[in-house]
Amino acid sequence: GTLLERLGVADASAVEFLRSDANARRLFEGRGGRLVQVSAGADGKLRSLIARSPAPRNEQLATHFTRLSVARDAQGAWQAVEETRPLQSQTRLASGTIRSSLFAASDEAQVPDAIAVQIAEIFSGDIDMHRELRRGDTFSVVYEALTADGEPVPWNQGTGRVLAAEFVNGGKTHQAVWYRD
């Protein structure tokens, strides 16, 4: 009830269904971090609820997600359907300027920490990220962002791999490109 209330829905029959249906109850199991979207009428009655969460099996965490859909069927009865679907990948581009550290610059550029770690690892043979960074150094990165039905996922840090990166350190340009043999 609290979840629906926070989303602006006031629908006792929907709350009862979510509490009593075995599939729908999975919405409240496990950890947080789910993406939940609702559609409601002007009267506050639930039309549909879609919840996206990590895949249930560990071997699928990086490649799949679970979608729980709750809506009324053609006869007007509530129905909950759970399915495991593949994550999609979107290509994103970001760049930043070092003022204090790579992580501060990546935060400012809205680059996920997992991607900043990959950038540090990629260039660690050429740049000591603790001692050789200079104010004004820059980076650019093209990376994969994982999405569930087009929505960025909050689990697994929502990231795939770095596809290309450039780091300018002390005026010297370093570049890297991911490729598959």
DSSP string, 76-115: S-EEEEEEEEE-EEEEEEEEEE-SS-HHHHHHHTT--HHH
How many other CB atoms sit within 10 Å of the CB of residue 158? 18
pTM score > 0.85 for this model?
A: no
Residues 6+ apart with CB under 8 A from 23: 68, 80, 81, 82
* CA torsion through residues 54, 60, 64, 66, sign: negative
**Hey, what are 119's tokens?**
């950038």
pLDDT in tens, the chain (181 residues): 777 888 888 888 998 999 899 888 888 776 667 888 999 988 989 999 999 988 888 888 888 999 999 999 899 899 999 999 999 988 999 999 999 999 999 999 999 888 999 999 999 999 999 899 999 999 999 999 888 998 888 776 667 789 999 999 999 999 999 998 8
113 neighbors 30 (Cβ within 8 angstroms): no
Q: Put the strands of the sheet holding 64-72 in their side by side order.
A: 35-40, 46-54, 64-72, 78-86
Parallel, antiparallel or unpaired: strands 88-97 and 159-169? unpaired
Cα–Cα dist 161/122, whole Å = 11
Alpha helices in the chain (DSSP H): 2-6, 12-20, 22-25, 102-108, 113-123
Coil, strand, or helix at residue 62? coil
